[in-house]
Amino acid sequence: MPNATLASNLASHLVKSASVTRTEIPGTTLLKWFYDMALIREFEVRCMQAYQDKKIGGFCHVYIGQEAVAVGCVAALEHRDPIVTAYRDHGHALARGMHPKHCMAEMFGRIGGCAKGKGGSMHMFDKANNLYGGHGIVGAQCPLGAGLAFATKYEDEVIKGGKSDRVTMCFLGDGALNQGALHEAKNLAGLLDLPVIFVVENNGYSMGTAIERGTTMAHKIITKAMGYGMEGIEVDGMDVLNVYASMKDLCDRVRATSRPAFVDMRTYRYKGHSMSDPRKYRGREEEEQYEAEDPIGKLQKFIKDRKVATAAEIETIVDRVKVDVRDAVAWADASPAPGLEELYHDVYVEKWGPYTGTSLPEMLRESGVRSQE
Amino acid sequence: MSEEMRRDARIYLLGEEVAQYNGAYKVSRGMLDEFGPRRVIDMPISESGFAGMAIGSAMMGLRPIVEFMSWSFSLVAADPILNNAPKMLYMSGGQFGCPIVFRGNDGAGGQLGSTHSWCVEGLYSNVPGLKIAIPSNPYDAKGLMKTAIRDDDPVFFLESERLLSIKGEVPEEEYTIPFGKAAIRREGTDCTIVSWGRPVHFAMEAAETLAKEGISCEVIDGRTIRPMDWTTIFASVRKTNACVVVDQSWSFASPGSEVAAQVSEHCFDDLDHPVLRVHSDDVPAPYAQNLEQEMLPNPRKIIAAVKKVTYRA
C-alpha cells in the first residue's frame, strides 16, 4: 500500500513538549501564525495561477500542505539564527519575513525580486532575515547548513571568545535522505559539535517515488541520525502548535549543548512535486486523508475553540491575506525585467574584464545590510 | 597562509591531514602548533562535505582555505565547488559572496596513474564566477596566495606536487602579486610561448635549447588563468608574429585552446602561422614512467611546435 507507513504514523508521533503547552501560546502569536500560514497558501495558489498564465517560468514547487512546518520552525528560532533550505522554498522565505512582493517578483523574474530575478523560484535568499537560500540541487544545502553552524560557532567562540549562541536550521526533503551530501554533513556536524538541526520535511515522496521505495528504514528515519551520534525526534508536522512546541525545546537543547540534531517532520504536500506533476503515483483517497488533517483548518479550529478570535475576525485575516497577495502579484507584475546590464553584474565582487562588480537588491538597500565585506 | 592568518582571525585552514600530520605534503607544517585546532582543522576523507561546509561558512563572512590533498579528489566535491561557490553571488542577486580559497596539488608527473593525475584547469576554467591561480615558482606562490586569500571571490589555487621541492628566493617581507598580470620569464623576438604552472619550466627548457639554434623565444607565464592577461599575451604576439601555447591539460575545450582562439581572433593579421598548442596527449595518464613523460607537454614537443610556427622545421 503506497505510503502506508506515513499515514499510520501521522497521529501517533506527536512529540509531547515538556516546557511549552498549547495553552501557554498567546493569542496574538496564534493569529500571527494563522496569517503566515494562510499567506503562504494563498501565495502558492496565486503562483500556480501565474504559472498557468506563463508569468512564471522554469520549475515551480509549491508548499501547500506543509505550511505548519516552516511557520512553526521559524517561530521556534531567534531571528539571528540562520536558516537554509532546498528548492521548495517560498514558504520558508515568507515565514522568515521576506515581503511577498519581493518573493513574487523573483518568481516573475523581475528586478524587484529578492535576487533581482536572477535566482528564481528555487533560489530565495534574504540576508536581512538570515535566509541563506533556496538551493536547487537535492541535498546540497546540507553541507552549507553545517557550514553556517560552523561559522556562527567560530564567530562566537574563536573570534569573540564567548560561547556559541546561535542555532542553524537546515531544511531538506525526504528525497535528500539518499544523497551523500547529507550523510557527509551529518558526520561533520557530529564530529565538530555543530549547532545545526537537520529538519527532514518528510512528505512521503521524492518527486514520484514513495519514501519506502527510495530509502532504507523508511518507517523510522531517525535511525539515520543515531549513526552520527545525534539526537533524532519525530514530529507531526501537520499541527503548527506541535511543530512549535517540539522545535522550541529542541532549539533550546541544541543552543545549550552545541550538538546537532535531526528531525523527522511528518508532513504532506497536497500538490504535485512541481507544476508538471499529475500525481498518478498516489490515490485520491490518500490525499483526502491528509486534507482532512489540514494544518490551517486545524489551527483555525483551535483559535475558535479557545475563543482567541471570532469567525468574523478570522474572516478579516483571510481577506487581508487575499489583498496582500493580490498586491504582491500586482507589484511584481509592475516591476521591470532586469536590464541587460544585470547579465554581467554580481558574477564577481571585483570588477574586472566584462564584469561590473556587485550590489545589493532593492529589497535590502534600505535595511542596513552591508554588501560583501 | 600563516602570515595571512596572523592578520585576520576570519581565515582558517581545513583539509585532510593538514593539522596533526602537518600536511600530506607538509605545506601546513607548524600551523597547528601556531594556530591551534580551531583554525587548522583536520577533516575526514569527505571532500563533498567539507568543501560544502567551508562554503557555507564563507557565505557568513569567514574566509576559509580548503586544502584538497590532490585536486583529483575535488571531483567528488564538484557540486559544492562548481554549483555553490562560484554561483552564490549571482543567484542571490549580490547578497551572499563566497570568499574562499581551494588549494592543492594539480597535474601529473609522479607516476600516480589516471585517477590521481588530473589537470583540473581543463575542467574548471570553463566556469564563470571563480578565479584560477597557478604559480610556477616559490616567489609567485607566496604573492599569489596572499592575493587569493584577500580576494572576495572564490579562488582555485593550483599547486604542483612536482614543484613543491624546487628552490627559489622568497622575501620575508609583505608582497602580493595581482591576478591577471602575467610575467615575461624570458624575452625574445621570434616566437611567443604562453604557459602557466609547471609547464612554464618545460617552456623555459625548450627556449634555452632553441636559443642555441638561433631561435629567440619569449616565454610568458600567465600566473592566473581566470583572469588571463590578454594584454601582455597579445602585445608579445604582435612583436614575435608567432605563438605556441603550452598547457598540461587535455587540448579539447581547454584554457590552452582558449588562448589559441583569442590570439587568432585578436592577432590574426600579426600571425605568420596558425597558433599551435602543446598539451598532454589526449589519453588517460599512464603509470609507466616513459609513457607518462611522453604524454606530458615536454620540451621535445614544444621545440617541434616552435620550429613549425617559425618555419624552421
Q: Which three cell numbers stand for residue A93?
A: 522565505
Instruction: Output the pLDDT for position B196.
Output: 98
pLDDT tens per residue across span B244-266: 999 999 999 999 999 999 999 99
Distance from CA of A117 to the nearest CA of B (A): 8
Number of domains in chain B: 2
**Does residue B24 form part of some domain?**
yes
**Does residue B177 form part of some domain?**
no
Q: Examine the domain organization and report whether B11 and B149 are in the same domain.
A: yes
Chain A and chain B share a number of CB contacts under 8 A equal to: 177
Helix pair B230-240, B255-266: axis angle to 10 deg: 60
User: Which among B53, B107, B120 is positioned nearest to B85, based on CA atoms?
Assistant: B53
Q: Examine the domain organization and report whether B20 and B87 are in the same domain.
A: yes
Q: Which residues of B touch A146 (CB under 8 A)?
A: 49, 52-53, 56
What is the full per-residue pLDDT of chain B (313 aa) written as tens digits? 999 999 999 999 999 999 999 999 999 999 999 999 999 999 999 999 999 999 999 999 999 999 999 999 999 999 999 999 999 999 999 999 999 999 999 998 789 999 999 999 999 999 999 999 999 999 999 999 999 999 999 999 999 999 999 999 999 999 999 999 999 999 999 999 999 999 999 999 999 999 999 999 999 999 999 999 999 999 999 999 999 999 999 999 999 999 999 999 999 999 999 999 999 999 999 999 999 999 999 999 999 999 999 999 8
| Phi, psi torsion values for A121, nearest 5 degrees | -50, -40
Distance from CA of B25 to the nearest CA of A (A): 24
Distance from CA of A295 to the nearest CA of B (A): 31
DSSP classification of residue A178:
G
Give residue B270's domain range.
183-309
Closest partner CB to A127 (pick from B83, B96, B180): B96
Mutate: best of B92, B127, B131, B152, partner A, most A CBs <10 A: B92
Closest partner CB to B93 (pick from A119, A140, A155): A119
Strands A355-356 and A351-352 turn out to be antiparallel
**CATH number assigned to the domain comprising residue B279:** 3.40.50.920
**CATH number assigned to the domain comprising residue B88:** 3.40.50.970
Length of chain A as a residue count: 373
pLDDT tens per residue across span A248-290: 999 999 999 999 999 999 999 999 888 889 899 998 999 998 8
Q: Which three cell numbers stand for residue A239?
A: 499541527
Q: What CA–CA distance (Å, rounded) separates A177 from A186?
A: 11
Q: Examine the domain organization and report whether B212 and B159 are in the same domain.
A: no
Q: Examine the domain organization and report whether B234 and B136 are in the same domain.
A: no
Which residues 31-90 of chain A have a CB within 8 Å of chain B?
Answer: 82, 84
Q: What CA–CA distance (Å, rounded) separates B113 from B26?
A: 22
pLDDT tens per residue across span A14-68: 444 445 667 789 999 999 999 999 999 999 999 999 999 999 999 999 999 999 9
Distance from CA of A134 to the nearest CA of B (A): 9
- Residues of B annotated catalytic, as ranges: 47, 116
Q: Examine the domain organization and report whether B232 and B282 are in the same domain.
A: yes
Annotation: CATH topology of A4-338: Rossmann fold (3.40.50)
pLDDT greater than 60 at residue A360: yes
Helix/strand/coil for B78: helix
Q: Examine the domain organization and report whether B129 and B188 are in the same domain.
A: no
Q: How many CB atoms lie within 10 A of CB B212?
A: 7
Helix (H), strand (E) counts: chain A: 14, 10
Q: What CA–CA distance (Å, rounded) separates B251 from B154?
A: 25
Residue of A nearest to B129 (CA): A347
Q: Which contiguous run of DSSP H or E holds residue A234?
A: strand A231-236
Q: Which contiguous run of DSSP H or E holds residue A332?
A: helix A311-334
Q: Quick check: A148 contacting B, CB < 8 Å? A: yes
Q: Examine the domain organization and report whether B97 and B9 are in the same domain.
A: yes
**Does residue B172 form part of some domain?**
no
**How do the domains of chain A map onto residue ranges?**
4-338, 340-373
Helix pair A240-257, A295-305: axis angle to 10 deg: 100
Q: Examine the domain organization and report whether B78 and B47 are in the same domain.
A: yes
| Phi, psi torsion values for B68, nearest 5 degrees | -95, 125
Q: Examine the domain organization and report whether B42 and B154 are in the same domain.
A: yes
Helix/strand/coil for A187: helix
Residue of A nearest to B93 (CA): A115
Which residues 228-287 of chain A have a CB within 8 Å of chain B?
Answer: none
Q: Examine the domain organization and report whether B69 and B188 are in the same domain.
A: no
| Dihedral over alpha carbons A131, A136, A141, A143 (to 10 degrees) | -140
Q: Examine the domain organization and report whether B138 and B286 are in the same domain.
A: no
Q: Examine the domain organization and report whether B211 and B106 are in the same domain.
A: no
**Does residue B239 form part of some domain?**
yes
